[in-house]
Structure 1
Amino acid sequence: MTPPTPPALRRPAWAGRNYTLLTAAAVVTGLGSSGALIAAAFAVLEAGGNGTDVGLVAASRTVPLVLFLLIGGAVADRLPRQRVMVAANTLNCLSQGAFAVLVLSGEAQLWQMALLSALGGTGQAFFGPAAEGMLLSSVSGEQAGRAFAFFRMGMNGANIGGAALGGALVASVGPGWVLAADAVAFAVAAGLRAFLDVGAVPDREPGGGLLADLRVGWREVAVRPWLWGIVAQFSVINAVVGAAEAVYGPLVAEEHLGGAGPWGIALAAFGAGTVGGALLMTRWKPRRILLAGTLCVFPLALPSAALAVPLPAWEVTAAMFAGGVTIEVFSVTWMMALHQEIPEDKLSRVASYDWFGSVTMVPVAAALAGPAAEVFGRTAALWGCSVLIVLLTAAVLTVPDVRRLTRRVPEPSAGGGPAAANPPPPVVDGSPTPADS
Structure 2
Amino acid sequence: MSGAALAPLRDHRFRWYFLSRVVDLVGDIMGSVALVFAVLAVSSSPMALGAVLAAHSIPVVIFLLVGGVLADRFGRTVVIQLSNVTAGLTQLAIATLVITGAAEIWHLVLLTAINGVAAAANGPALAGLLPQLAPKDSLQQANALNGLLRNIALVMAPALAGVLVVGVGAGWAIAINGGTYLLAAILLLPIKLPPPASREDGDSILRDLVTGWTFFRMTTWLWVIVLAFGALNALHSGGFRTLGPPLAEESELGVEGWAMILSAGAMGLVATSVVFLHVPLRRPLLYGMLGCAVYSVQIIALGSTTQLWILVAAAFVGGAGIEIFGLGWELAMQERVPEDMLSRVYSYDMLGSFIAIPVGQLAFGPLGEAFGLQKMILVAGVAYLAISLLTLGSRSVRDLQRADQEPEVTNTTSVPGS
- TM normalised by structure 1 equals 0.83
The residue type paired with residue 139 of structure 2 is A
* Match of residue 211 from structure 2: 216
The separation in 2 between residues aligned to 1:324 and 1:386, in whole angstroms, is: 14
Q: Which amino acid aligns with 2:67?
A: G
* 1:145 alignment partner in structure 2: 140
Paired residues of 2:59 and 2:120 also in contact (CA < 8 A):
yes
Distance (Å, rounded) in 2 between the aligned partners of 1:211 and 1:254: 47
User: 164, 173, 178: which one pairs with 1:169?
Assistant: 164
Structure-1 separation of matches of 2:103 and 2:77: 33
Structure 1 79/67 Cα, relative in aligned 2: closer, same or farther at 3 Å?
Answer: same
**Matched-pair contact (CA < 8 Å) for 2:225–2:391:** yes
Consecutive unaligned residues in structure 2, runs of 5 or more? none
Q: CA deviation at 1:110?
A: 4.3
Counterpart amino acid of residue 212 in structure 1: R
In the other structure, the counterpart of 1:275 is: 270
- The equivalent position to 1:205 in structure 2, one of 199, 202, 214, is 199
Shift of 1:41: 4.3
Question: What is residue 403 of structure 1 aligned with on the other side?
Answer: 398
Identity of aligned residues (%): 32
Q: Distance in 2 between matches of 1:54 and 1:222?
A: 35
Deviation of 1:383 (Å): 4.9
Structure that is richer in helix per residue: 2
**Counterpart of 1:428?**
407
Which residue pairs with 1:422 in the alignment?
Answer: none
> Which of the residues 165, 168, 183 maps onto 2:178?
183
Q: How does 1:13-412 map to 2 (within 5 A)?
A: 13-15=7-9, 16-44=11-39, 48-51=42-45, 52-199=47-194, 202-206=196-200, 208-249=203-244, 261-310=256-305, 312-370=307-365, 372=367, 381-409=376-404
In the TM superposition, what whole-angstrom CA distance separates every residue of 1:352-386 from its partner, at most 9, and x where no partner exists? 11222222222212332255567877676455434
Alpha-carbon contact 2:269-2:323 (below 8 Å) kept: yes
Q: Distance in 1 between matches of 2:373 and 2:302?
A: 10
1:19 maps to a residue whose letter is F
TM-score normalised by L of structure 2 = 0.87
**Does the aligned pair in 2 maintain the 1:277–1:327 contact within 8 Å?**
no
Amino acid at match of 2:353: S
Is the 1:133–1:348 contact (alpha carbons within 8 Å) kept by the matching residues of 2? yes
In structure 1, stretches of 5+ residues that fail to align are 1-6, 410-425
Q: How many residues align?
A: 412
Is the 1:224–1:436 Cα contact (8 Å) retained in structure 2? no
- Is this contact kept in 2: 1:221–1:227, CA < 8 A? yes
Q: 1:174 to 1:79 in 2, by over 3 A?
A: same
Structure label with greater radius of gyration = 1
Partners of 2:245 and 2:207 lie apart in 1 by 45
CA distance in 2, matches of 1:226, 1:122: 28
2:7 is paired with a residue whose SS is coil
Q: Report the equivalent of 1:420.
A: none
CA distance in 1, matches of 2:412, 2:312: 45
